[in-house]
């Protein structure tokens, strides 16, 4: 029994030793795939001509900078400018009722054209009364004139009669003027604007009824005082009107204001009191349009008083050279 057990143990040891003696297969090694051959990309247009492109860009930038500096040195520009013109206020010179209004807003009118008619009835009556007084004064003067030589009347009485006659003559002329004032006419060619009168209104002396805006306009540009060092009358100007984009009109510097805009203000600044802070003042400069530049009737109609513009003045001398 013990012999059999010993034999079995020896057999197990022999089997285990045999298992250790048998070599185990080595683990499989994964092989990396062979990379595809790299094909070089052709250079782009910029890479091929990089130096040439950079040279061209540099030259263009240098030319643009030189042009900008030259333009800034030889021109003065401002957008603090506007179109202005003659605006004639049409006012009543007497008090009366309106009987006719013969024009409307934006209508084209000519000088002397009748705009408004007032009721002349009361002034016609005044003319008749003044005429009667004049007739009486004239008769009294003529009656007394020959009596002076006969000493029937004194020279003082004759002088009084002459004075009365002259006064009544002036009253008659004034009454006729008031009748004439009942017909209101246009003082110049232009266009009707801001009409605020209608038939039946009672108007008073001095009341504004409408405006007549003349077609001739110009530009007032408010340049800084530091921009006027080389600016002179007669220098050419480029004018751009905000309401007409894409168009540049030509003009000339006409004249300079005798004072800065601040001096014409309702409450001009007083620098003699308190702390002083220097502020660059602006001087109004009158610029007229070149007639050939606005010869188109449509352009003249579109350039209106009050519109904003941008002006650029070329700082030329009389010989044409820049400053």
pLDDT single digits (tens) 240-276 = 999 998 899 999 999 999 998 888 887 777 777 667 7
Q: Would you say the pTM of this structure is higher than 0.75?
A: no
Is residue 205 included in any domain, yes or no? no
Same domain assignment for residues 224 and 296: yes
In this structure, what token pair is assigned to residue 260? 């800065």
Percentage helix, strand, coil for the chain under 3-state DSSP, each rounded to 5: 35, 25, 35
- Which residue, 175, 187, 203, 188, is CA-closest to 118? 203
Same domain assignment for residues 77 and 163: no
Q: Are 115 and 103 in contact (CB under 8 A)?
A: yes
CA gap 123, 177 in Å, rounded: 9
Same domain assignment for residues 237 and 174: no
Same domain assignment for residues 170 and 250: no
The per-residue pLDDT for range 126-162, each reduced to its tens digit, is: 999 999 999 998 888 777 777 766 777 777 887 888 8
pLDDT > 70? residue 33? no
- Which residue, 64, 67, 71, 112, is CA-closest to 88? 112
Which residues span the domain enclosing 251? 69-86+214-268+277-314
- Strand ranges of the sheet holding 114-118, from the earlier edge strand across to the other edge: 183-185, 114-118, 96-101, 202-203
Contacts with 285 (C-beta within 8 Å, 6 or more apart), sequence order: 220, 221, 222, 223, 228, 231, 253, 255, 256, 257
Mean pLDDT of 42-65: 82
Same domain assignment for residues 166 and 222: no
What is the number of structural domains in the chain? 2
Among 161, 181, 201, the domain-final residue is 181
DSSP reduced 3-state for 65: helix
Is residue 9 included in any domain, yes or no? no
Mean pLDDT of 227-244: 93
């Amino acid at each position: 029994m013990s012999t059999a057990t010993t034999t079995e143990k020896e057999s197990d040891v022999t089997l285990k030793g045999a298992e250790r003696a048998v070599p185990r297969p080595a683990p499989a090694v994964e092989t990396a795939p062979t990379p595809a051959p790299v094909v070089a990309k052709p250079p782009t247009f910029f890479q091929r001509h990089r130096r040439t492109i950079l040279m061209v860009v540099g030259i263009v930038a240098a030319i643009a900078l030189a042009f900008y500096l030259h333009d800034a040195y030889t021109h003065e520009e401002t957008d603090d400018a506007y179109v202005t013109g003659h605006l004639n206020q049409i006012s009543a010179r007497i008090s009366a009722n309106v009987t006719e209004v013969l024009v409307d807003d934006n209508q084209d009118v000519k000088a002397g054209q009748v705009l408004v008619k007032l009721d002349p009835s009361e002034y016609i009556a005044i003319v008749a009364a003044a005429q009667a007084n004049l007739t009486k004064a004239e008769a009294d003067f003529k009656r007394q004139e020959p009596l002076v030589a006969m000493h029937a009347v004194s020279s003082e009485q004759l002088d009084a009669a002459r004075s009365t006659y002259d006064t009544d003559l002036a009253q008659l002329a004034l009454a006729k003027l008031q009748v004439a004032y009942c017909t209101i006419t246009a003082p110049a060619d232009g266009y009707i604007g801001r009409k605020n009168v209608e038939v039946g209104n009672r108007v008073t002396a001095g009341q504004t009824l409408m405006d007549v805006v003349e077609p001739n306009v110009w530009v007032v540009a408010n340049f800084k005082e530091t921009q006027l060092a080389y600016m002179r009358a007669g220098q050419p100007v480029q004018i751009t009107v905000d309401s007409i984009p894409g168009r540049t009109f030509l003009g000339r510097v006409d004249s300079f204001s005798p004072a800065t805009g601040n001096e014409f203000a309702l409450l001009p600044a007083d620098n003699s009191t308190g702390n002083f802070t220097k502020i660059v003042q602006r001087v109004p400069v009158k610029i007229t349009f070149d007639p050939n530049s606005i010869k188109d009737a449509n352009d003249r109609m579109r350039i209106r008083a009050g519109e904003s513009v941008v002006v650029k003045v070329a700082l030329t001398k009389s010989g044409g050279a820049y400053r």
